[in-house]
Structure 1
Amino acid sequence: MTMKFPAISGKLPVFMHGADYNPEQWLHDPAILQEDIRLMKLANCNVMSVGIFSWGKLEPEEGVFTWDWLDQVLDLLVKNGIYVWLATPSGARPAWMSEKYPEVLRVEKNRQRNLHGMRHNHCLTSPVYREKVRMMNSKLAERYSFHPAVLGWHVSNEYGGECHCEYCQDAFRSWLKQKYGTLEALNQAWWTTFWSHTFTSWSQVESPAPHGEMMVHGHNLDWRRFVSDQTIDFFRHEIQPLKAVNPDLPCTANMMDLFYGLDYREFAKAVDVVSWDAYPTWHSESSETGVASWFAFNHDLFRSLKKKPFMLMESTPSQTNWQRTSKLKRPGMHRLSSLQAVAHGSDTVQYFQWRKSRGSSEKFHGAVVDHVGHEHTRVFQDVASLGRTLGELTEVLGTTVPAEAAILFDWDNRWAVLDAQGPRNGGIHYEETVVQHYRALWQLGVPTDIIGAFDSLNRYKLLIAPMVYLLREETGRKLTEYVKQGGTLLVTYWSGVVDEHDLCHLTGCPGPLREVTGIWAEEIDSLHDHDHNGLIFQQENPLGLKGSYTVHELCERIHCEGAEILAAYSSDFYAGDPVLTVNRFGEGKAYYLAARVKEDEFYEMLYARIVSETGVLKCLDSTLPKGVSVEMRTDGTHDYLFVLNFSGQEALVDLDDRAYSDLESGQVVQHRLQLPVHGSTVLKRKTLVNV
């Protein structure tokens, strides 16, 4: 069975390797363009993103368009075998527009309109801005949609932020009317009888404001949903003229590392291919495990949004200029971090930026070409070497990640958790909790999808639901049926607390999951940072696990209603009460973890046993050294294993008895693989996968 997607573009059926390119910054020196072409070839680059912030050069004054420079760039690139993601320039508007049409500038929460400047400082609802964007994109599409260099559209850049102007207030009210129909329904959903906040007219409803309303949680949640929907609507507005001219060109919008402000699961439905920008803070600790697992989670999230290969649109070939400490990448790290993206499903490795800017805020951000302007730098050679490696990996292109485990992660749950004013307002650590569970699977070499409440569960043998505070009744029924049909579910504390309106379930926590978990969570205790409790495994528990572990931050007091106790609290007034349980339900099992355990070793041990019990696919049938990950892509005939050393030291990896070869060299690899510090190897084997 083939498990392979077609290349993102038929024009370039290999791994895309390139960068954001800003030739408009160098038009005063024509020799730079010729030199860039020479260097791109030396760096084994085959694609560039062009025009991302070019509005001022494309339309220097209203209604006056200049295309000659862009014509020249595109013609020269494709003549030399280099293709282009052509950008729409809406991420930053020209000064003449802000001066003539101040309504395009954003209004902040305090209702103060911004001055011209920065990026994404524009109202996505403004009729003027929408019309200007439509006109620009129409002209770009008419001129370049069939240009041989153009692979697709890079639409705007890193969408984000919100506006509180009157256009947006009216749009918010219209959005609410469509959702609720009547004020009575809105008042009920927002529970506005609290503090006598009942609305008697739609005109009374405004966006949350620091000098107004910020304490109605349903209101806050719906505003975040509206901002996300309005941004997606603007994206759709942007691509309409592009698709009208050539519907076959794919459109993407580069997303960001676990970005809070937009529901990327919904946004992904509007793009043709998912792309995102990854900037890990490498070398902050002796081991890279924490950073590596965080970004592995992100890669798996973005791959899971459309269940197919994605694009690494931006990364840095060296250091950034905006992190608290901008470290240089150590030898081997550029290859290692780039192959990590490929291992999790990226079919591109692209950078910000190609050539360092000479001035302004990103003049010290890493680039393929430094200010010195030649190829004789360590960074350039790292990039060229990776380009050669990607050229050896073409058969991996389009392959899939065969995950049989999944983690539930939704934006509206995230928004609700962090707005809850609940047990721990000084750091509830929702995202860190999710990634802590993920990290255990990552360390075990278990391919994992990051899914949403509305995704199908059929393919998964194991589903983890950490802190699903916001849980719809229908989601509860879906998870219950999943277990009933033979799935294994693990749910944690602070789950099933509220519904989709952020209204508390009145049936006892974990709400719609109470029956399937076989427990009732009576109350939750919040621990100070210096406090801790303990988890002690019961003698003769079904998992056969032993020992005691530290519990911190959050502890639920739960009662078994059919579930079996696996571990209990060690101290405080609830010592001896259950903290880890299992409930056999139908053909499956539901585990419930009532507290946050501090040690990663606990999660690795627990999931190792559950993975073994459920038969969840592992990349390699061996125990991996700490900090070494093994990721897998497959085409249904061959598996491609990416063995990546994030441990900060040399590592030996024991292989199983199957036949392996090094994909780059073709050499046979047997028994044991030795990896240097920051080492990485891609292995090939015949597949046993059947998913």
Structure 2
Amino acid sequence: MIESNKVKKILYGGDYNPEQWPEDIWEEDMRMFRLANIDVVTLNVFNWAMLQPQEDVYDFSKLDKIMDMVRTNGLKVCMATSTAAHPAWMARKYPDILRTEHNGIRRKFGSRHNSCPNSPTYRKYSVLLAEKLADRYKDYDNIVAWHVSNEYGGECYCGNCEKAFRTWLTEKYGTIEELNRVWNMSFWGHTLYDFEDVVAPNMQSEEFLWDTVRTNFQGISLDYRRFMSDSMLSCYRMEYEVLKKHMPDVQVTTNLMGFYKPLDYQKWARYMDFVSWDNYPSFDTPVSESAMNHELMRGLKQGKPFALMEQTPGVSNWQSFCTLKRPGVMRLLSYQAIAHGADTVMFFQMRRSIGACEKYHSAVIDHAGHENTRVFREVAKLGKELSKIGSQILGTRTSAKAAIVMDWDNWWASGYSAGPSRLIDYKKEIFCYYRAFYENNIPVDIISVTDDLSPYRLVTAPLLYMCKEGFDEKLCAYVKDGGSFLTTYFSGYVEDHDLVITGGYPGKLRDILGIWVEESDAIPEGKHNSFLYKDETYPAEVLCDLLHLEGAEALSRYQEDFYAGMPVLTVNRYGKGRSYYAATRSNPDFYRTFIKDICEETGIPSLLETPEGIAPGIEISRRENETAEFLFILNHNDEAVDLTLTLNAPSTDILSESTYLPGASITVPGKDVVVLKRVK
């Protein structure tokens, strides 16, 4: 959430690049922005080459004109620092700024994400540019936020990074003996004698390509992921500090990318004033997966609203099939973002460029150059609605009694694991459980291992492969105090450095779960075992844990193979609470039923009951503050749906202004949304 006394409603706008166009077009853009009720633009995202044409020359003349123009036209600004792509002269003069790829090849100038995060050149000039921008525009009262760089990502394996990695390891582990221990370097005679012996893990050393990137030493590769994420975070933080020095009251962010594996966003969020992110689902992305991305972003700041920094108003140019958003879908996905915590709706881009790789990426203003397009009409309609209702929803939050634990170290480490199955997929496992909450209309937060568990009645931690130091103690206290905990196969195996916890799986979780996993059977793709739950047979896929009860109760047992009859679902009473274990992966029908049962046992209600068969296309979410509650009903189906409102008080649709009594029937047209407001 952009906290500013200048922001009175949900902001509406997006990336604007007037420097790519003749100045006589700018005023026409302003006219069309007014037609669309646009009130904010993100400026200066990729202007480093324009702003610093030579090492000792800065030229802000065009940006000055742009800033004066948007201020004159009453537009607020999310001001970017332009440091996502360095200028050509810098690469020519200082080649240390260029990244080295995983295969060891040094890049040349081109593309973006092309700056080494540990290059002294990049760090010097990126921070200097950010400071000059902040000092120059600090008196512009229409700047409501700063946007550092753009979509940080990628990785580098150059000499600068290798040296910085050694320093990072020295600070983390202290001695070479400790480093040898945590990386288990006695294996294959890899003992290191000095930190100078450390090399970056890529295709020249420990990593290799098979069906994906694999590694001989998981501890080394895991630490390099952590290091690379920290390196880019350090670049962000340096720019953050100089921006704050000149404009301490303006909030600073950078745009994230949902479930983006290379960067530990939970760590990054500590240094962001508010979370912002770019939402680009493919034409076949399940709407529940888009919702999960929003939940992750909202959870990075313990439930605070976030900014939707980018989405496409129509078509994305970079996907395999550049399928149009069907009529109504842009509006519906915008309200989906709001329903899950967005306090802005912003697009890339405002005017469609005429060259390079994004010239066919949709924009508010198309190549036609006028307002008589389907996309513009939809943008203008949404802008009018947000002008009407945007102040009511601003700042409201979601209250959930269920949580899913997500952890980047677990994602990295489980992906690097040398066995037991390449079908193990951390994000997919998270989604299996998230979708079950989603389809039961049960609010759920996505939290980190450092977050407080006490607000929740149920905490689910799928594929908790790495049980970090202290987290088992936190879980034990939570369950003993009456909480319910659910985890899955391949959990509790290793500690923070990916060293196996000996004494039997699931390691430190063994007591709380009341089970011992003796071995695990990897199920080949296309094959499955099976189990019976509530008189229905479900598949057991990917991995089947062969476990023994140590106090837990079996809820279901395998039906096939030599381990037929062994437990597959268990529950263990522990203190005042319960711990559940799912020893395999199954299908969506199972998860939907299983999660519903556990939520009923733990007293977590559904927001709204929906008829059987339409649940995947109906989405229910809620935001609230001290005075009102807003229930979002989104119909992603093509056809209209009739629902019965099981509410306890009259509610008013803030879009249509229709009032509904408890028990009333409501019809939600296809690809449409209803936002019901109940005054507390």
TM-score (norm 1): 0.94
Alpha-carbon contact 1:493-1:555 (below 8 Å) kept:
yes
Instruction: Provide the residue aligned with 1:636 in structure 2.
Output: 626
Q: Mark the CA change 1:527 to 1:648 in structure 2 (over 3 Å): closer, same or farther.
A: farther
Q: CA–CA distance in 2 between the matches of 1:473 and 1:89?
A: 39
Which residues in structure 2 correspond to 1:640-655 (within 5 Å)? 640-655=630-645
Q: CA–CA distance in 1 between the matches of 2:547 and 2:654?
A: 51
Q: CA–CA distance in 2 between the matches of 1:483 and 1:622?
A: 31
Q: CA–CA distance in 2 between the matches of 1:654 and 1:597?
A: 31
Deviation of 1:295 (Å): 1.0
The alignment partner of 1:119 has SS state of coil
Number of aligned residue pairs: 665
Q: CA–CA distance in 1 between the matches of 2:651 and 2:492?
A: 46
Indicate which of 153, 159, 173 corresponds to 2:152.
Answer: 159
Alpha-carbon contact 2:104-2:203 (below 8 Å) kept:
no
1:157-179 alpha-carbon deviations (Å, 9 max, x no partner): 00011222222111100110111
The alignment partner of 1:597 has SS state of coil
Q: Does 1:412 pair with 2:406? A: no
1:364-408 alpha-carbon deviations (Å, 9 max, x no partner): 001110001000000001111111121232211001100111001
Alpha-carbon contact 1:75-1:149 (below 8 Å) kept:
no
Q: CA–CA distance in 2 between the matches of 1:579 and 1:471?
A: 21
Q: CA–CA distance in 1 between the matches of 2:449 and 2:609?
A: 31
Deviation of 1:657 (Å): 4.2
The alignment partner of 1:306 has SS state of coil
1:12-60 alpha-carbon deviations (Å, 9 max, x no partner): 221011010011101xx22110001001111111000000001111112
Q: Does 1:142 pair with 2:135? A: yes
Alpha-carbon contact 1:278-1:315 (below 8 Å) kept:
yes
Q: CA–CA distance in 2 between the matches of 1:8 and 1:664?
A: 25
The alignment partner of 2:371 has SS state of coil
Q: Does 1:456 pair with 2:452? A: yes
The alignment partner of 1:549 has SS state of strand
1:563-620 alpha-carbon deviations (Å, 9 max, x no partner): 111111111111111100111110100011101112x121111111211121124322
Alpha-carbon contact 2:104-2:204 (below 8 Å) kept:
no
Instruction: Provide the residue aligned with 2:32 in structure 1.
Output: 39
Instruction: Provide the residue aligned with 2:96 in structure 1.
Output: 103
Q: Does 1:581 pair with 2:570? A: yes
Equivalent residue letter for 2:288: S
- Structure 1, 620-629 or 463-472: larger mean CA deviation: 620-629
Q: CA–CA distance in 2 between the matches of 1:402 and 1:146?
A: 38
Alpha-carbon contact 1:523-1:556 (below 8 Å) kept:
yes
Indicate which of 481, 490, 495 corresponds to 2:486.
Answer: 490
Q: Does 1:564 pair with 2:553? A: yes
Alpha-carbon contact 2:252-2:272 (below 8 Å) kept:
yes
1:617-672 alpha-carbon deviations (Å, 9 max, x no partner): 43225657322010000113321011011234332222114322101232112422
Alpha-carbon contact 2:557-2:565 (below 8 Å) kept:
yes
Q: Mark the CA change 1:459 to 1:618 in structure 2 (over 3 Å): closer, same or farther.
A: same
Between the aligned residues of both structures, percent identity stands at 44
Alpha-carbon contact 2:244-2:250 (below 8 Å) kept:
yes
The alignment partner of 1:514 has SS state of helix
Instruction: Provide the residue aligned with 2:211 in structure 1.
Output: none
Alpha-carbon contact 1:315-1:351 (below 8 Å) kept:
yes
Equivalent residue letter for 2:76: Y
The alignment partner of 2:182 has SS state of helix
Q: CA–CA distance in 2 between the matches of 1:512 and 1:200?
A: 32
Which residues in structure 2 correspond to 1:163-202 (within 5 Å)? 163-202=156-195
Instruction: Provide the residue aligned with 1:303 in structure 2.
Output: 298
Instruction: Provide the residue aligned with 1:540 in structure 2.
Output: none
- Structure 1, 396-405 or 55-64: larger mean CA deviation: 55-64
Q: CA–CA distance in 2 between the matches of 1:550 and 1:344?
A: 32
Instruction: Provide the residue aligned with 2:212 in structure 1.
Output: none
The alignment partner of 1:159 has SS state of coil
Instruction: Provide the residue aligned with 1:601 in structure 2.
Output: 589
Instruction: Provide the residue aligned with 1:541 in structure 2.
Output: none
Instruction: Provide the residue aligned with 1:337 in structure 2.
Output: 333
- Structure 1, 652-661 or 48-57: larger mean CA deviation: 652-661
1:412-432 alpha-carbon deviations (Å, 9 max, x no partner): 00000000011112x212211
Instruction: Provide the residue aligned with 1:245 in structure 2.
Output: 246
Instruction: Provide the residue aligned with 1:317 in structure 2.
Output: 313
- Structure 1, 372-381 or 525-534: larger mean CA deviation: 525-534
Q: CA–CA distance in 1 between the matches of 2:399 and 2:372?
A: 41
Q: CA–CA distance in 2 between the matches of 1:12 and 1:413?
A: 38
Q: CA–CA distance in 2 between the matches of 1:407 and 1:92?
A: 36
Instruction: Provide the residue aligned with 2:364 in structure 1.
Output: 368
Alpha-carbon contact 2:116-2:156 (below 8 Å) kept:
yes
1:139-161 alpha-carbon deviations (Å, 9 max, x no partner): 10111122122111110000011
Instruction: Provide the residue aligned with 2:674 in structure 1.
Output: 681
- Structure 1, 644-653 or 150-159: larger mean CA deviation: 644-653
Instruction: Provide the residue aligned with 1:444 in structure 2.
Output: 440
Alpha-carbon contact 1:473-1:512 (below 8 Å) kept:
no
Alpha-carbon contact 1:104-1:126 (below 8 Å) kept:
yes
1:520-578 alpha-carbon deviations (Å, 9 max, x no partner): 111111111121111113xxxxxxx3322112111111111111111111111111111
Q: CA–CA distance in 1 between the matches of 2:610 and 2:359?
A: 46
Q: CA–CA distance in 2 between the matches of 1:616 and 1:622?
A: 16
Alpha-carbon contact 2:131-2:239 (below 8 Å) kept:
no
Q: CA–CA distance in 2 between the matches of 1:657 and 1:360?
A: 52
The alignment partner of 2:300 has SS state of helix
Deviation of 1:449 (Å): 0.8
- Structure 1, 660-669 or 416-425: larger mean CA deviation: 660-669
1:420-471 alpha-carbon deviations (Å, 9 max, x no partner): 011112x212211111100010111111111111111010011001000011
Which residues in structure 2 correspond to 1:374-523 (within 5 Å)? 374-393=370-389, 394-425=391-422, 427-523=423-519
TM-score (norm 2): 0.96
Q: CA–CA distance in 1 between the matches of 2:192 and 2:665?
A: 69
The alignment partner of 1:92 has SS state of coil
Equivalent residue letter for 2:505: C
Q: CA–CA distance in 2 between the matches of 1:175 and 1:577?
A: 46
